[in-house]
Amino acid sequence: MTGLEDLPFLGETGHVISLVGGGGKTTLLYALARHYLAQGQRVLVSTTTHIQRPDANYAPDEAARDALWKAGTYVVAGVPAEGGKLTMPPYLDDWMAEADTVLLEADGAKRHPCKAPAAHEPVLLRSSDIVLAAAGLSAVGKSLQDVCFRLEAACTLLAVPPETPLTPALLAKLLVSEAGGRKCVGTRKFYAVLNQADDAARRAAGEQTLAILKEKYDVTGYLTHFEEGERA
């Protein structure tokens, strides 16, 4: 894993961090969980919408939760749903109170590298104090219709037709718009995370996007790259 080390809150505790967007969001979620775990924190991973049930670390009840924390690993909480998914558990607030750091998936992207939110998205808890908007750099240079989830909403937001190639400028706008990645964020701390910086071309596109984010929108962003074994 590279890139997350610069996030300014990683040495802290007590945060409720919500992740929105696409392009490796779940990979990012679990990378953050491992990072906080390495600091000796009790880490809770869950969702306010739905998330794929993992092969390990799922806790169906408090006994399983406490056993996982005692064993020195993070906990994934949720109610089993169709398609191997988990949905937001009714006891989430109670479990959050027992954790040092909470990580929440707050929307869905159906494995697309970028997205625009639906009317009901994102689902941000009042207690969430940090929002990370993620996108995958594999989308840059490709037409919106090939890479973007909720295409119609994205085209409306960006005022471009579906066949338009996604440029760094358009990606930056999608991430920071209050109809896009910054929807419902309010006064929470907000950062953009550009995943899939896997080669020189993608990293160059990512650096361009980061520069636009900072210079035009005063938003700080980060590039990440995950090895195959680190990807969810």
7 close to 221: Cβ distance less than 8 angstroms: no
Query: Cβ of 202: how many Cβ atoms within 10 Å?
Result: 21
Predicted local distance difference test score (pLDDT) of residue 231: 83
In the predicted model, what is the mean pLDDT of residues 197-205?
A: 96
Structure tokens at 65: 């939760």
Q: Is residue 228 situated within a structural domain? A: no
Burial 29-66 (b: 16+ CB within 10 A, else e): bbbbbebbbeeebbbbbbbbbbbeebeebbbeeeeebe
State how beta strands 79-81 and 85-87 pair. antiparallel
Q: Is residue 66 situated within a structural domain? A: yes
49 close to 87: Cβ distance less than 8 angstroms: yes
Predicted local distance difference test score (pLDDT) of residue 133: 98
Q: Is residue 44 situated within a structural domain? A: yes
Q: If pLDDT is split at 50, 70 and 90, which confidence band does 171 have? A: very high
Instruction: Give me the domain span that covers residue 191.
Output: 4-222
C-alpha–C-alpha distance, residues 1 and 78, integer Å: 26
C-alpha–C-alpha distance, residues 19 and 158, integer Å: 22
For residue 56, how far is the Cα from the chain centroid? Answer: 20
C-alpha–C-alpha distance, residues 226 and 52, integer Å: 19
Whether the predicted pLDDT of 134 surpasses 60: yes
- What would the pLDDT profile of 149-164 be if each residue is shown by its tens digit? 999 999 999 999 999 9
Q: Is residue 141 situated within a structural domain? A: yes
Q: Is residue 85 situated within a structural domain? A: yes
- Mean pLDDT taken over the chain: 96
Q: Is residue 193 situated within a structural domain? A: yes
C-alpha–C-alpha distance, residues 163 and 20, integer Å: 24
In the predicted model, what is the mean pLDDT of residues 132-149?
A: 98
Q: If pLDDT is split at 50, 70 and 90, which confidence band does 108 have? A: very high
- Name the residue among 100, 95, 86 with its Cα closest to residue 48: 86
Predicted local distance difference test score (pLDDT) of residue 227: 86
Predicted local distance difference test score (pLDDT) of residue 85: 96
Q: Is residue 39 situated within a structural domain? A: yes
Q: Into how many domains does the chain fold?
A: 1
In the predicted model, what is the mean pLDDT of residues 131-152?
A: 98
In sequence order, what are the beta bridge partners of 20?
133
Q: Is residue 72 situated within a structural domain? A: yes
Predicted local distance difference test score (pLDDT) of residue 115: 97
CATH code of 165's domain: 3.40.50
- What would the pLDDT profile of 15-71 be if each residue is shown by its tens digit? 999 999 999 999 999 999 999 999 999 999 999 999 999 999 999 999 999 999 999
